[in-house]
Structure 1
Amino acid sequence: MSSPLPRRLSWARSWPLMLLLGCATTSSAPAPEAPAASPLPTGSAPRAPEAASEPQAMKPSFDTSAVKAALVAKHGEAHRARIERGVEQLASMWRPADGDLVAFARAQFVSDPKVLDATFTRLERVFEQLDGHMLELGREMRWYSDLDLGPLLPVEPLVASYDPSAHVTEDLFQSKVAFVVLLNFPLTTLTERAEQGPSWTRRQWAEARLAGRFSMRVPAEISQESSRAISAAGLYIDEYNVWMHHLVDARGERLFPKGMRLISHWNLRDELKADYADPRGAEKQRMIVRVMERIITQTIPAAVIDNPRLDWNPFTNEVAVAPPESVEADAPPKEARADAAREQDIRYERMLDIFRAERKADPYAPVAPTRIARAFELGRELPEARVKALLTQVLESPLVPRVAREIETRLGRKLEPQDVWFAGFKSGGARPESELDALTRKRYPNADAFAKDLPRILRGMGFSGAKADWLAARIRVDASRGAGHAMQAMRRGDFPRLRTRVEKEGMSYKGYNIAVHELGHNVEQVFSLYGVDHTLLTGVPNNAFTEALAFVFQARDLELLGQGKADATSERERVLSDFWQTWERSGIAMVDMAVWHWLYEHPDATPAQLREAVVGISQDVWDRYFAPVLGGKGTTLLAIYSHMISYPLYLPDYPLGHLISRQIEEHLSRKGPLGAEFERMATYGSVTPDLWMTHATGAPVSADPLLRATEAALKGKP
């Protein structure tokens, strides 16, 4: 896909999912071309991380029996179950400094149904405002680092790294608001939500989300440290550009047009995909692959990163000062010195900074005591083992070599590693991207032009005129500094933001494709905020679901551009494309998960050791699943995704999103219109994945719809 993740603030379930941007610096100190590192094993089975010394606060020594008995005597036997659960929840987070637990429980336990209902209603309203305004403050702090508003001032990275919400959860504990919630509303486990959730009322679901936001009590300084680390990694990635006109081959030839500046990894990958329609596409693709490999192994010369004044041969790694006539007229000021010293493992320093910050939170999260557990148990609400099983079902599918043979027939050659991103199945894949660029740049010279076209686009997606206008009025469009993202809103009265890159010539087809994807996120975000019955249920089950709904939009981008409606042939192409992309993304997700297990097994690793581990893990996954089909044994390409650096453990959401998207598409093929069904699904809110999917399509999350569709497509049946 063409878009990075949406920025989703979700305190109610998983504080560590809050994502911010910040700054990074690069070092130009010389180093060997292929630096050595202390070897560490990459293939060992994951083991439980060694626990950091547990804070005394997480080991309550309170005798709760007396307070339970007192509350039952005061409120009656009918409330015993609520009392016993609430007191245990309260005690699990109470610290000696919080004062008299018994007195607090006697004063704050609510047994009167009317008072309990009023308490719930008041808290729901308050938290909508608190969450919403905190998100808006964070958005403002990152305004200049997120958006393409000119060069960053030296102060901007510092501003962007500040997280105004870092202290909120601890403040709510210190003010004892959190303890009122824990005493009166149920803190549920994933097992309870999965097994009992289908029979819950919507109010019960909202209560579960209300209590769930206080399942951890992470000190504010640790929250802030994590925000700073993620912020620094985010801006490092947002400014990681390659000037393609300044890549030269052995003949000194320039294969890419002047002015082409591509961010890693999104634009590099998308350019590689677009090159299938170019007569010299194979040459360009092999050059891009070499650039990617240099980035992963950190053998890229630091001086060439985002520098249009240097020429670089990624095959030999030679650097030269670019001739004046080749330098772009508006090239930013950069040092023109032919320095071939490699980048100093900054990619992996940023990743380690996030890991170390997250590890400090582990002792404060007894329900999910590792970042891995928080990503799956709290964030996705899908166990890691189940996610791996779904991905393995795709990776090991006998359909893979059959689809590969069809690709080989189309290309007229044996497949190569870059064909993991084969784009020939995509409708319009044979059309030169330059033609699509001309269309989008004329139509969208700036972000405002895209914003003004939203009502027409939304009508094209099947929404009524009134609904299209209503949605468009609640979405804001900005020109992104990075590849693009969708930022949700968390209170009614605020609006989601659509960000995509708009170059000086206008919006390229890459930018347009990203914008349509992000629009899918935004439409979901509007519906799941303004259309949901409880604001505590704002959103969808996890990021894979918002990705899936965004894929539904993105798949229709050319149709929305006026390039023809889908027919049986184009639908067949789309299915095969979805399968191939899911296969590729299942591989990158496996790498992402394995790297985090490695980090917990080697908590004291250096950046160089982490680099070697990532290289080894990506090679292992490639050789197991991809080399038998694409060759290139030992290729590191699966580690190129920037999410691994700045969005910890996000990558599994992409293949899950494809699986969910196909399941939704299978349903949409039987039901309609698309607009009404999209709204019905998106307004169901943040319940568990299987419950949401059963409501949406009639069945829990599964890989079977994609595999069924692919089997039919290979037989020529759309």
Structure 2
Amino acid sequence: MKHTADLPVLKAELVSRHGQAQRARIERGVDQVAALWRDEDGDLAAFVREHFIPDETQLDATLARLETALEQVDGHMNEIHRELRRPTDLDLGPLLPVDSLLAAYDPAAHVTEDLFRAKPGFVALLNFPLTTLAERMEKGPGYTRRQWAEDRLTGRFSRRVPAEVRQASARAGADADLYVAEYNVWMHHLLDEQGRRLFPSGMRLISHWNLRDELKSRYADPEGVAKQRMIVKVMERIVSQSIPAAVIDNPRVDWNPFTNEVKEAPASEVEKDAPQRPVVLDGKREEDVRYVRLLAQFHAARMEDPYSPVAPTAIARSFELGRELPEARVKALLEQVLTSPLVPRVAKEIESRLGRKLEPQDLWYAGFKPSGKLSEEELNTLTRQRYPTAEAFAKDLPRILQGLGFSKEKAAFLSAHIRVDASRGAGHAMQAMRRGDFPRLRTRVGPQGMDYKGYNIAVHELGHNVEQVFSLYSVDHTLLAGIPNSAFTEALAFVFQARDLELLGQAKPDAASERERVLNDFWQTWEIAGVALVDVAVWHWLYAHPDATPSQLREAVVRISQETWDRYYAPVLGGQGTPLLGIYSHMISYPLYLADYPLGHLISFQMEEHLKKAGNLGAEFERMASQGALTPDVWMTNATGAPVSAEPLLRATEASLAR
């Protein structure tokens, strides 16, 4: 950025004033400030003379003051944003037109720029080191906690993105979120080629989460294969945007997803109290809305590119700044699983259990878990009786947490710091960012209570929330609040989710169930690894075609999904040319997030191997989560004794197959 100061002269002056011992700090700090200083910021030399801190005691006090202030700023901005999104995030009744406008407003969009203009951001850059990912990967294992806190302080000021750019990104994200949150399919109104209704009345499933989970739940159903094939066809039509617009969240029309025929539903089949929707029978497809939303996310991200020279694309920011893992390393980990010779061996075992050749729906095979052997109705009865409301789940948190291995006192502490809400969408966890605030657990609770899908999601989100409490309240520096990246919080959430049936009193771990767990983890990692590669490949295509239209983007997503399927999945599951891998809603509402799931599975498996040896889930979960936002390999080595790797999962899968 522009500035008028003569930097060598300024540095020499400061060295003369403060001594040679300060030279390295002075030269580094002045360069860090000058890189982001603008003419309108004023006199750079005067600022540097006044705010360089040579005294160690004052430096400590300044770090502490900034840490306290930023916790409050971040925390309260997070609370404001959460409240603005309440109507779109929670099941509070019909949305008003103003709700989407409030959800799109990000009150924190201007905060970083304000801190630059008011100069605290420059104070941080002048006095504390700004590091690169390469430096953190090399030197991080030897950092003190204080050094990590300094690094996280300056890291937040490594880029200077204008508030209007951040706001554009928030707006695009909120629009995509709302689109996904309202993308429901009324399953009773799907007709097969004989005109039969395969699904019960009132079943309203959000794409993709509930559609996938409904598919997974049908392995114990005598008509399960027919239902699964129908869900696959629905998914394919969503990806290709050949789904008729009239059937989206509409219980007043019937639809055959195989022929794409739409007709008015008989009055006797329309659910009681079904929302009013227009009955449109023209069969016109959804007009590429899915890809309009994704393009808006891309264009918003590109606006940020010029202000991020160290990571000049959204892809680079996702890996280098967000995950702190290079893209090449993440891809190598995913492809190590995708191309493993263990895949056809696990597939053969699944075939022997199903008694048929595998099909595309078996991407989500659920038979390696006890839930795959229980009917959906049995599971729904259990959870609906126990959790008729979100409040009932909240009241049961102390028992659930003690069942997971936390002491009575720790379970009470955690329960008191988590709030449970009924979600409009599939469910999510929303962190708190200051001590005194509370993380939110959101999951779907239907009129009859929380079904098993909602419960399974709730246990997963509880894992996020418990991590969020520990990584905020138990860290020694709130500048380190959090975990290395989203894959780690997913991994910690998987640890909880894997025990959902135990918490219902339906399963007890033994040698056989351990074998099932390993094979299930392998198959789930294999499934989502390809989805993640599609997500990243789509963004590479977008950067190569920045002026693409929604229809061109649709064609690219379909093609990339098909090519990825044909390379990794068709040899095992058939279905040559299916675009099924493009179904995940994260691609639209949380772009470039999907790689965190397979990484999360690998990380979770390493954690589980450690937990088996340690023997105390509650205490070890707290110890691991309380490390804070270190780089991935440092965090993982501290937690389990080894850096992030696919080898533990592959070794355990090999051993399970041998048994």
Q: Give the TM-score category using the shorter length.
A: over 0.9
CA drift of 1:430 comes to: 1.1
Rounded Cα–Cα distance in structure 2 between residues aligned with 1:330 and 1:687 = 51
Bigger CA drift: 68-77 or 385-394? 68-77
Q: Does 1:285 align with 2:228?
A: yes
Q: Name 1:400's counterpart in structure 2.
A: 343
Contact kept in structure 2, 1:582 and 1:655, CA below 8 Å: yes
Other-structure match for 1:264: 207
| Higher percent of residues as helix | 2
1:231 maps to 2:181: no
Distance 1:275 1:160 in 2: 36
Q: Is the 8 A contact 2:565 2:581 kept in 1?
A: yes
Distance in 1 of aligned mates of 2:139 and 2:194: 67
Return 254-263 or 361-370, whichever deviates more.
Answer: 361-370
CA distance in 1, matches of 2:200, 2:122: 61
Q: Distance in 1 between matches of 2:330 and 2:318?
A: 11
Letter in 1 for 2:30: V
| Alignment CA distance shift 1:61-1:376 (3 Å) | farther
* Residue number in structure 1 paired with 2:430: 487
Q: In the TM superposition, what are the counterparts of 1:208-219 in structure 2 within 5 Å?
A: 208-219=151-162
Of 218, 231, 235, the match for 1:275: 218
Task: Within 5 Å, give how 1:200-211 maps onto structure 2.
Answer: 200-211=143-154
2:231 aligned partner, one-letter code: I
Q: Given the superposition, is the C-alpha separation of residues 60 and 636 from structure 1 closer, same or farther in structure 2, using an over 3 Å criterion? A: farther
Q: CA deviation at 1:564?
A: 2.6
Unaligned runs of 5+ in 2: none
Secondary structure at the counterpart of residue 97 of structure 2: coil
Matches within 5 A, 1:120-269: 120-269=63-212
Q: CA RMSD in A?
A: 0.8
Alignment counterpart, residue 634 of structure 1, candidates 573, 577, 597: 577
Structure 2 counterparts to residues 345-360 of structure 1, below 5 A: 345-360=288-303
Distance 2:404 2:299 in 1: 44
Match of 1:652 in 2: 595
Rounded Cα–Cα distance in structure 2 between residues aligned with 1:154 and 1:549: 37
SS of structure 2 residue aligned to 1:249 = coil
**Is this contact kept in 2: 1:249–1:315, CA < 8 A?**
yes
> Aligned equivalents of 2:350 and 2:151: distance in 1?
48
Contact 1:60 1:92 in 2 (8 A): no
Matched residue, 1:13: none
SS of residue paired to 2:614: coil
* Partner deviation per Cα, 1:168-196 (whole Å, 9 max, x = no partner): 11111111111111101111100111111
Q: Does structure 1 conserve the Cα–Cα contact (< 8 Å) formed by 2:4 and 2:39?
A: no
Distance 2:141 2:172 in 1: 38
Runs of 4+ residues over 6 Å off in structure 1: none
Deviation at 1:61, TM superposition (A): 6.9
Is 1:677 the counterpart of 2:620? The answer is yes
**Per-residue Cα deviation, 1:563-604 (whole angstroms, up to 9, x for no partner):** 031111111111101100000110000000100000000000
Q: Per the alignment, in what secondary structure is the counterpart of residue 532 of structure 2?
A: helix
Q: Hey, what does 1:370 align to over in structure 2?
A: 313
Distance in 1 of aligned mates of 2:263 and 2:432? 47
Aligned to 2:45: 102
Distance 1:569 1:61, change over 3 A: farther
Query: Do structure 1's residue 624 and structure 2's residue 563 form an aligned pair?
Result: no
1:62 positional shift: 5.0
Report the Cα distance in structure 1 between the residues aligned to 2:421 and 2:158, rounded to whole angstroms: 35
1:540 to 483, 495, 515: 483
- The match for 2:538 among 564, 585, 595 is 595
Q: How does 1:456-467 map to 2 (within 5 A)?
A: 456-467=399-410
Contact 1:446 1:507 in 2 (8 A): yes
DSSP 3-state at the match of 1:428:
helix
Q: How much has 1:672 moved relative to structure 2?
A: 2.1
Letter paired with 1:322: A
- In structure 2, how many angstroms separate the alpha carbons of the residues matched to 1:392 and 1:64? 48
Structure 2 residue 331 is the aligned partner of structure 1 residue 388: yes
The count of aligned residue pairs is 659
- Gapped runs of 5+ residues in structure 1? 1-56
3-state secondary structure, aligned to 1:87: helix
What is the letter of the counterpart of residue 175 of structure 2? Answer: A
* Letter aligned with residue 386 of structure 1: R
Q: 1:62 to 1:703 in 2, by over 3 A?
A: farther
Superposed CA deviations along residues 518-568 of structure 1, whole A, max 9, x for unmatched, are 000000000000001100000100000000000000000000011031111
Answer whether contact 2:370 2:507 (CA < 8 A) is retained: no
**1:251 Cα shift?**
1.4
Equivalent AA in structure 2 for residue 400 of structure 1: V
Asked if structure 2 preserves the Cα contact closer than 8 Å seen for 1:427 and 1:574, the reply is no
Q: Give the secondary structure class of the aligned counterpart of 1:670.
A: helix
Could you tell which deviates more after superposition, 156-165 or 256-265? Answer: 156-165
Q: Are positions 1:297 and 2:240 aligned together?
A: yes
* Residue 63 of structure 1, CA deviation: 3.3
Q: Give the drift of 1:446.
A: 0.4
- Alignment match, 2:358: 415
Is 1:708 the equivalent of 2:655? no
Task: Tell whether the 8 Å contact from 1:362 to 1:370 is kept in structure 2 after alignment.
Answer: yes
In the TM superposition, residue 60 of structure 1 has moved relative to its aligned partner by: 5.9
Equivalent position SS for 1:196: helix
Give the partner amino acid of 2:590: Y
Supply the distance in 2 between the matched residues of 1:279 and 1:70 (Cα, whole angstroms): 82
1:477-504 deviation line (CA, Å, top 9, x unaligned): 0000000000010100001000000000
Residue identity opposite 1:522 in structure 2: N
* Residue number in structure 1 paired with 2:261: 318
The residue type paired with residue 450 of structure 2 is M
**TM-score for both structures, normalised by structure 1:** 0.91
Conserved? CA contact 1:72–1:83, under 8 Å? yes
Q: Which amino acid aligns with 1:258?
A: S
After TM superposition, give the deviation of residue 74 of structure 1 in Å. 1.2
How far apart are residue 648 of structure 1 and its match? 1.2
**Given residue 82 of structure 2, which amino acid in structure 1 is its aligned partner?**
R
Q: Which residue among 495, 498, 507 is the counterpart of 2:450?
A: 507
Identical aligned pairs, as a percentage? Answer: 73
Give per-residue Cα distances to partners, 1:120-162, cap 9 Å, x unaligned.
Answer: 0000000000000000000000011000010101111011111
Counterpart secondary structure, 1:149: coil
Which residue of 1 is the match for residue 55 of structure 2?
112
Residue 67 (structure 1) shift: 1.1
Shift of 1:416: 0.5
Cα pair 1:482 1:501 within 8 Å, conserved: yes
Note the 1:5-24 alignment, pairs <5 A: none
Q: Does 1:689 align with 2:632?
A: yes
Letter in 2 for 1:531: S
Q: Is the 8 Å Cα contact of residues 222 and 357 (structure 1) preserved in structure 2?
A: yes
RCO greater where, 1 or 2, for CA within 8 Å and sep 6 or more?
Answer: 1
SS at match of 2:35: helix
